[in-house]
Amino acid sequence: MELFIALLRGVNVSGKNKLNMNELRQSIEQAGYDDVQTYIQSGNILLKAAEKSVDSLQNAIQELIFQQFKLSVAVVVLTLDQLMKILADNPFSSDPKVNVKCLYYCLLQQESQNSLQHLVTVPKSNDSFIACEKTIYILVQNGYGNTKLNNNFFEKKLNVVATTRNHQTLHRLFEMSQSLR
With 0-12 / 13-18 / 19 or more C-beta atoms within 10 angstroms meaning exposed / middle / buried, residue 60 is buried
Which one of 35, 58, 82 terminates a domain?
Answer: 82
Which one of 82, 109, 140 terminates a domain?
Answer: 82
Residue 87 has pLDDT above 70, yes or no: yes
Confidence (pLDDT) at 181: 76
Q: How far apart are CA 154 and CA 54, in angstroms?
A: 21
User: Among 44-53, 70-79, 93-102, 107-116, which stretch is predicted with the lowest mean pLDDT?
Assistant: 107-116
Confidence (pLDDT) at 120: 63
Task: Tell me the pLDDT tens digit for each residue of 14-53.
Answer: 777 899 999 999 999 999 999 999 999 889 999 999 988 9
Mean pLDDT of 171-180: 95
| 105 and 145 belong to one structural domain | yes
How would you write the chain as a 3-class SS string?
CEEEEEEECCCCECCECCCCHHHHHHHHHHCCCEEEEEECCCCEEEEEECCCCHHHHHHHHHHHHHHHHCCCCCEEEEEHHHHHHHHHCCCCCCCCCCCHHHEEEEEECCCCCCCHHHHCCCCCCCCEEEEECCEEEEECCCCHHHCCCCHHHHHHHHCCCEEEEEHHHHHHHHHHHHCCC
Which one of 82, 112, 139 terminates a domain?
Answer: 82
| 142 and 118 belong to one structural domain | yes
Angle between helices 80-88 and 167-178 (to 10 degrees): 140
The domain total for the chain is 2
Confidence (pLDDT) at 118: 65
Segment of 62-66, 91-95, 128-132, 139-143 carrying the highest mean pLDDT: 62-66
Q: Which domain holds residue 102?
A: 83-177
Task: Tell me the pLDDT tens digit for each residue of 51-86.
Answer: 889 999 999 999 999 999 999 999 999 999 999 999
